[in-house]
Chains A and B, each alone.
Chain A
Amino acid sequence: MVFSSSVFLLFFLPVTVAVYFAVANRGFRNVVLLLASLVFYAWGEPVYVVLMIVSIALNWLFAILIETRSFKGALLFADLAANLAILGFFKYEGFIAQNLNAVLATSIPDLDLPLPIGISFYTLQAVSYIVDVYRGQVPAQRNPLYLGMYIAMFPQLVAGPIVRYSTIRDQILNRRENIRDFCAGLRLFIVGLAKKVLLANAVAVLAAQMLDAGGSQIGVIGAWAGLLAYTFQIYFDFSGYSDMAIGLGKMFGFQYLRNFNYPYISKSITEFWRRWHISLSSFFRDYVYIPLGGNRVCRFRWILNLSVVWVLTGVWHGAAWNYVLWGVFYLAVLLLEKFVWGTALAKMPSFVQHLYTVLVFMFAWLLFWIEDMAAMGEYLLAMVGMFGLTGAQTFWQLSAWCYLPLFCVCAMASAPLVPWVRFKVMAWATGASDKRGFMRGDLPAVKRLETVGLCDSDALLEKLDEAGAPSGRRIVVRMTIASIDLILLAMLILCICSIATGSFNPFIYFRF
Chain B
Amino acid sequence: MGNRIYNHLFILLVFGVLCATPAGKLLSVAGVEFPSWTGIGEQSSLLEGRTYADLPDLSVEAVEDASFQNGFEEYLSDTIPMRDEAVLLNAAVQRCGIAAGAAMFGYRVYPTFYGSGYVYDAASDRLWPTLRPETQEEAESFERSAAVFTAFSERHPDVRMLFYQVDRSLTSSLNPTHALTASSVDTGFLVEHFYDRLGFDVIDGTCSDPTCYDAAYFKTDHHWTVDEAYTCYQRVLGWFLPDESPVELPDKEQWDVPFYGAVSRLALCMTAEPDFIADYPVLLDGIEVFIDGEKASAFALADWPLYDSGAASDELFANRYAEYFHTDYGLIELRNETASSGTLLVVADSYSNNMERFFAANYQRVYVLDLRHAGIALDSFMESHKVDDLLFLMGSTTLTADSVLDALEPAI
Q: Which residues of A contact B (CB under 8 A)?
A: 1, 5-7, 9-11, 13-14, 17, 43-44, 46-47, 179-180, 182-183, 186, 190, 202, 205-206, 209, 392-394, 396-397, 399, 401-406, 409, 457-458, 461, 482, 485, 489, 492-494, 496-504
Q: Which residues of B contact A (CB under 8 A)?
A: 3-4, 6-8, 10-11, 13-15, 17-19, 21-22, 63-64, 66, 69, 72-73, 76-77, 80, 83, 86-87, 89-91, 93-94, 97-98, 100-102, 104-105, 107, 110-111, 114-115, 133, 177, 180-182, 268
B77 pairs with A179, CB closer than 8 A: no
B107 neighbours in A (Cβ, 8 Å): 396, 401
Q: How far is the CA of A134 from the CA of B101 in the complex (A)?
A: 57
A404 neighbours in B (Cβ, 8 Å): 100-101, 104
B90 pairs with A501, CB closer than 8 A: yes
- Residue ID in chain B nearest A13 by CB atoms: B18
Given contacts A7-B73, A461-B3, are A402 and B11 in contact (CB under 8 A)? no
Given contacts A13-B18, A492-B17, A497-B90, are A186 and B111 in contact (CB under 8 A)? no
Q: How far is the CB of A353 from chain B (nearest CB, A)?
A: 29
Q: How far is the CB of A14 from chain B (nearest CB, A)?
A: 5
B87 pairs with A497, CB closer than 8 A: yes
A458 pairs with B90, CB closer than 8 A: no
B77 pairs with A502, CB closer than 8 A: yes
A406 neighbours in B (Cβ, 8 Å): 97, 101
B19 neighbours in A (Cβ, 8 Å): 10, 14
Q: How far is the CB of B132 from chain A (nearest CB, A)?
A: 11
B63 pairs with A14, CB closer than 8 A: no
Contacting B18 at CB < 8 Å: which of A14, A206, A209, A497?
A: A14
Given contacts A6-B77, A489-B17, are A46 and B64 in contact (CB under 8 A)? yes
A501 pairs with B18, CB closer than 8 A: no
Q: How far is the CB of B184 from chain A (nearest CB, A)?
A: 9
B4 neighbours in A (Cβ, 8 Å): 179
Q: How far is the CB of A478 from chain B (nearest CB, A)?
A: 8
B90 neighbours in A (Cβ, 8 Å): 494, 497-498, 500-501, 503
Given contacts A397-B182, A500-B77, are A182 and B105 in contact (CB under 8 A)? no
Give the tally of cross-chain contacts (CB within 8 A).
138
B interface SS class: helix
Q: How far is the CA of A205 from the CA of B3 in the complex (A)?
A: 41
A498 neighbours in B (Cβ, 8 Å): 90
- For this complex, 8 residue pairs linking A to B, each with C-beta atoms less than 8 Å apart, are A5-B73, A10-B19, A17-B15, A182-B11, A186-B10, A489-B14, A496-B86, A500-B86
A43 neighbours in B (Cβ, 8 Å): 69
Contacting B80 at CB < 8 Å: which of A14, A403, A489, A496?
A: A496
A14 pairs with B181, CB closer than 8 A: no
A7, A11, A46, A500 — which one has the most chain B CB atoms within 10 A of its CB? A500
Contacting B22 at CB < 8 Å: which of A10, A458, A500, A504?
A: A10
A interface SS class: helix
Q: How far is the CA of A190 from the CA of B105 in the complex (A)?
A: 33
- Residue ID in chain B nearest A206 by CB atoms: B114
A405 pairs with B91, CB closer than 8 A: no
B63 pairs with A46, CB closer than 8 A: yes
A399 pairs with B111, CB closer than 8 A: yes
Other than A7-B69, A179-B11, A489-B13, give 10 A-B pairs with Cβ distance below 8 A.
Answer: A11-B76, A180-B3, A190-B14, A202-B94, A393-B181, A401-B101, A401-B102, A404-B104, A492-B14, A501-B90
- Residue ID in chain B nearest A504 by CB atoms: B115
Q: How far is the CA of A170 from the CA of B226 in the complex (A)?
A: 76
- Residue ID in chain A nearest B97 by CB atoms: A405
B181 neighbours in A (Cβ, 8 Å): 393-394, 396-397
Given contacts A10-B22, A394-B181, are A493 and B87 in contact (CB under 8 A)? no
Q: How far is the CA of A150 from the CA of B94 in the complex (A)?
A: 39
A6 pairs with B73, CB closer than 8 A: yes
- Residue ID in chain A nearest B107 by CB atoms: A396
Q: How far is the CA of A3 from the CA of B21 in the complex (A)?
A: 16
A202 neighbours in B (Cβ, 8 Å): 94, 114
Q: How far is the CB of B87 from chain A (nearest CB, A)?
A: 5
Contacting B182 at CB < 8 Å: which of A1, A393, A461, A494?
A: A393
Contacting A485 at CB < 8 Å: which of B10, B18, B114?
A: B10
A183 neighbours in B (Cβ, 8 Å): 7, 10-11
B115 pairs with A209, CB closer than 8 A: yes
- Residue ID in chain B nearest A404 by CB atoms: B101
Given contacts A186-B14, A405-B97, are A205 and B114 in contact (CB under 8 A)? yes
Q: How far is the CA of A202 from the CA of B98 in the complex (A)?
A: 11
A17 neighbours in B (Cβ, 8 Å): 15
A180, A402, A494 — which one has the most chain B CB atoms within 10 A of its CB? A402
A179 neighbours in B (Cβ, 8 Å): 4, 7-8, 11
Given contacts A14-B18, A458-B3, A501-B91, are A402 and B111 in contact (CB under 8 A)? yes
A496 pairs with B17, CB closer than 8 A: yes
A501 pairs with B86, CB closer than 8 A: yes
